[in-house]
Amino acid sequence: MFEHTFEIDATVSEAELREVVAHCERLKASAAAAQARATALWAAKRRATENAAGIPARKRGRGLASEIALARLDAPVNGNTHLGMANALVHEMPHTLAALEAGVLTEYRATLIVKASACLTVEDRRALDAELCADQQALVGLGNARIEAAAAAIAARLDAAAVVERKNRAAQSAGAWTRCAPNGMVYLTFLMPLSRGVGVYAALKREADATGDGRPRGQVMTDTLYERVTGRPADKPAPIALNLVLADTTLFGEDDAPGWIQGYGPVPAVVVRDLVSDAVTDEDAKATLRRLYRHPTSGQLVAMESKARIFPKGLAAFIGLRDQTCRTPYCNAPIRHHDHATPHHKGGPTSAGNGAGSCEACNYTKEAPGWTVRTHDSDGRHTAEYTTPTGATYHSTAPPLPGPTRRHSVIEGRLSIDIVELKRTA
């Protein structure tokens, strides 16, 4: 339907290159506006189709947000945001949409305006839209912070009670997350009400101010947080359970293949060996070892199965280790459900091959009408194929387990694991 080719002439001047960059930015904004129009129209057509089919109102639109996210190569959890923004722009905020289409607003700045108006009635949202964006020239030169502040100020003036209520509801979205940081570190993020967040930081800061043992302030604050949350001294090794995965050859120093920590990602071999060593030598820490078989070619886990309808604990743990995160393409959410790709009531076996780790939202989405999930095992690679109601197909492949990259036979793999067991019990 659409085809664009962009070629850059290496002989043009800097001024001409600047214009190319500016033109591309305007094109991106215009494309975002077109994407919003297409998304809103898609939603309207889906509602009409399901209405004609007699689907109850409470069940209409199930799975559409995930389809929209997949079409944008985005995590399904962001689908509702994309759909909500498209509907708001097309049906309630024509001036913001026009400014986006003209390239005066970027997609991100349009998103900031829509979010600031989310708590308002339709009438007040349209009033905010007209006041802020009817004069496109007034938007020129405004950065993200000024756009957001202007939208928030208008929203507060139009309906202060709605803004306060939104702040009160925001407390329900409190949570904690981790993400990888360089050099064996991790970012631990908390979202909580302002007073609590400031209180936590102030307590950590007081501890750092009162401690004079030579440690950097940041280290004192993080050590204090760890000790107060876990109840363990920060200078003692942490217990190591099955959350840390590494090859036997890496454990005994025969190679330097990275390990993998659940909820974090790859970790250098020297770091995982130190973690295991510290936990084993500390009498108060608990270290456990479970043997797993890697496929000699792909490096993925060798399959298991059960005759039960519900995935047994061991098989569920197996699937969690194999998939690491939700198997829906582009979804990085933690695994909450272990479910059958081909449903059990349709003959799907309770096996690793037919199992897939999913977040709660994606598991419910694939149960919506028109969705199918199929799994394939080829040369030790576990692939899941997701087909949406509109006929689009997306694939995801389970990542390989940590270990050396050289190829070896199944017999070699089993022998190496037996050797590890002998060394451990010797």
User: How far apart are alpha carbons 367 and 340 in whole angstroms?
Assistant: 11
User: How far apart are alpha carbons 130 and 226 in whole angstroms?
Assistant: 50
Q: 250, 259 in Cβ contact below 8 A? A: yes
User: How far apart are alpha carbons 107 and 134 in whole angstroms?
Assistant: 17
The domain ranges of the chain are 14-170, 175-230, 305-397
Per-residue pLDDT of the chain (426 residues; tens, 9 = 90+): 565 667 888 999 999 999 999 999 999 999 999 999 999 999 999 999 999 999 888 888 899 999 999 999 999 999 999 999 999 999 999 999 999 999 999 999 999 999 999 989 999 999 999 999 999 999 999 999 999 999 999 999 998 888 777 777 777 778 888 777 777 688 889 888 888 888 999 999 998 888 878 889 899 999 999 888 888 888 876 655 545 676 666 666 777 777 777 666 777 777 777 766 666 566 665 555 555 555 555 555 554 444 556 777 777 887 888 888 899 999 988 888 888 888 888 888 888 888 899 999 998 998 888 999 999 887 778 899 999 999 999 999 988 766 665 544 545 555 554 554 454 454
Q: 328, 396 in Cβ contact below 8 A? A: yes
What are the φ and ψ backbone dihedral angles of 178, each rounded to 5 degrees?
-125, 150
Rg, Å, the chain Cα set: 27
User: How far apart are alpha carbons 314 and 238 in whole angstroms?
Assistant: 24
